[in-house]
Amino acid sequence: MADDQALTKSAPRPAAETPPRRGRGRPVGDREGRRAELLEAAMKVIAEEGIAAASLRRVAKRAGCTTGAVSYYFANKEAMMAAVIESRFDQFDKLLEIGDDAASVRRGFERWLEITTTEDAVWAAGFQLLAYARNEPALAAAYQRRYAHYRGVFASILAKGQQQGWVRTDIAADLLADQLSAMGDGWMMLYPIEPARFGPKRVKALLDATMAIISPPAPSPGKRSA
């Protein structure tokens, strides 16, 4: 009996199963989802505190993780800023994936206005990044490349519309794409200053006017015979 008790006391308890070790700062789980969360946190820090405050450490604090977790995705602040720019253009590119007919183009501009009027961090961070990129060649190059791609895809949609007859042909498609893109940027710039001008009725009027701009001109009425 004593021997049995001794064996019972000395028998080792099964060790608790420990999670696999991971490298310092290496995230687990949904990496793409985590990266998107960090970019969102970076954009909010930029919008609310300015680019000067958007360090890896500050973004990590905002995202509720370690600085090492942020540096796993972004080598430095400049790389993080470039990734934010790329992520914003990814969203803009999606506006052109909804179709290539007149209704789809109208819906694209409608969605642009929705982003402008509902996602404050987008325009606030975007304008700061644009100003910052003036003195950062790598970021400026990212803007040039992605904006050129956006305009190119948009121009191809408008060119197809010219062939189908719902886009005017007296102005080149690439010029129309440039003008309309600049118009959308203008909405995004003006909304935070004059939000009252972007009520539902005016937004509808803006969309109607946009489609009128790209539609073929109405034929001139024939002169009445004497």
Task: Give mean pLDDT, residues 127-143.
Answer: 91
Query: Is the pLDDT assigned to residue 113 strictly greater than 50?
Result: yes
Q: What is the mean pLDDT of residues 128-155?
A: 92
106 within domain boundaries: yes
Domain extent at residue 103: 78-214
Q: Is 53 contained in some domain?
A: no
**Does residue 20 lie in a domain region?**
no
Q: Is 18 contained in some domain?
A: no
Q: Is pLDDT at 13 greater than 80 in this prediction?
A: no
Residue 18: the pLDDT is 38
**Cβ density class 194-211: b for 16+ within 10 Å, e for less:** eeeeeeeeebeebbeebb
pLDDT band at 28 (very low <50, low <70, confident <90, very high): low
Q: How many domains does the chain have?
A: 1
Tell me: pLDDT of 223 over 60: no
CATH number at residue 108: 1.10.357.10
Residue 34 lies in a domain: no
Q: Indicate whether 26 pLDDT > 60.
A: no
Q: Tell me if 30 is assigned to some domain.
A: no
Residue 27 belongs to a domain: no
Q: Which of 45, 46, 39, 32 is nearest to 70 (CA)?
A: 39
Q: What is the mean pLDDT of residues 62-87?
A: 93
Residues 185-221: tens digit of each pLDDT: 888 888 878 888 888 899 999 999 999 999 998 877 6
Query: What are 52-59's contacts with CB under 8 Å, separation 24+?
Result: 54/80, 54/81, 56/80
pTM of the shown model: 0.76
Assigned domain for 220 exists: no
Q: What is the pLDDT of residue 143?
A: 93
